[in-house]
Amino acid sequence: MKKLLVYIVLCLFVTSYAHAETILLRTGARVKGTIVFQNEEVVIVRDNTGARFQYLRSDVSEILADGEEVAEPEVEEVDVIKTSKKASILLEVAGGAAVLPNEAAGGAASVDLLVGSHHIGDRHIFIGGGLGYHGLFIGGEKYNFLPIQVAFRMPFVEQKHAPVFGASLGYGIALSKNYKGGIYADIDLGYRCQLNQKTAVALVFYTQFQQAQMATTTTIEGQDFVNYTGRNLVTPGLKLALYF
């Protein structure tokens, strides 16, 4: 009899100090009611109908007082750049070595002007086309080409400072009758800084490939014969690129 009275008094004491709670379960469910008992193993809740429910403590993720909200997790700020849907101009100025494999080497300088989109999806990916002027000085000879090309430039990550990869493909028109043009290709790898939504600057290592038909003159019995021999001109170097 004494044990029963002690139990009743204990229940009344716990109930008098109980207050409305929200039980958050690890399954994502929410249970609203009054906690009438809890320890390290179980939590007993009474809802507004008077029904009681028991939950394992390991199944409960959090207990909130009435009116308290779940704290939102802090989101780490990432240095992400905003994208712009407007068209962009890409100006590239480059210089480096010029190599005619197995024959001679020299220097090269070039400028390219490309127009296209600087926004693909939610990324600052440049896709466009245009033309340029490339001058190569090899073995005392000068070779000038006007490459008409399509190109893309893509940062590896969408952040203010990011590595960038690019490629171009087109046809280099020869600007002399002493040689003919051919397929032009370019591969870029460098580092880009996004200054604002539309403007960026990049420093890039590049390798350009230009096919050409070189004229060779052969004299037979006092008569000159001109033949064209295919050559691949290779130009590695450094490029400064400006997006605006």
Q: Tokens 């690019």 identify what position?
A: 166
Tokens of 223: 């008569």
Per-residue pLDDT of the chain (244 residues; tens, 9 = 90+): 555 554 444 454 444 444 568 888 888 788 888 888 888 888 888 888 878 888 888 888 888 776 666 555 555 554 544 544 567 899 999 999 999 888 888 999 999 999 998 777 778 889 999 999 999 998 888 999 999 999 999 999 988 899 999 999 999 999 988 889 999 999 999 999 988 877 899 999 999 999 998 876 667 766 776 676 888 999 999 999 999 8
Nearest-angstrom CA–CA distance, 49 and 28: 23
Residues making up the chain, counted from first to last: 244
DSSP string for 80-126: BPPP--SEEEEEEEEEEEEEETTTEEEEEEEEEEEEEES-BTTB--E
CA distances from 236 to 87, 95, 107, 145, 183 (A): 29, 8, 10, 16, 17
Statement: the pTM of the whole predicted model exceeds 0.85: no
Residue 123 has, within 13 A of its CA and on its CB side, a CA count of 14
Q: For strands 200-220 and 179-180, give the pairing.
A: antiparallel
What is the predicted pLDDT for the residue at 237? 97
- Asked whether the beta carbons of 34 and 21 are under 8 A apart, the reply is yes
CATH architecture group of domain 87-243: Beta Barrel (2.40)
Q: Any residues with CB less than 8 A from the CB of 113 and at least 6 apart, and which? A: 89, 90, 91, 130, 131, 132
Nearest-angstrom CA–CA distance, 50 and 213: 94
Q: Identify the three-state secondary structure at position 48.
A: coil
Indicate the domain borders of the chain.
7-65, 87-243
Pick the CATH number of 7-65 from 2.60.120.10, 1.10.3730.10, 3.40.1390.10, 2.30.30.100: 2.30.30.100
What is the predicted pLDDT for the residue at 67? 60
Q: DSSP state, 6?
A: H
Q: Tokens 């604002």 identify what position?
A: 196
| CA nearest to 205, candidates 182, 223, 186, 218 | 186
Nearest-angstrom CA–CA distance, 165 and 206: 10
Tokens of 229: 């021999």
Are 7-65 and 87-243 in the same CATH fold? no
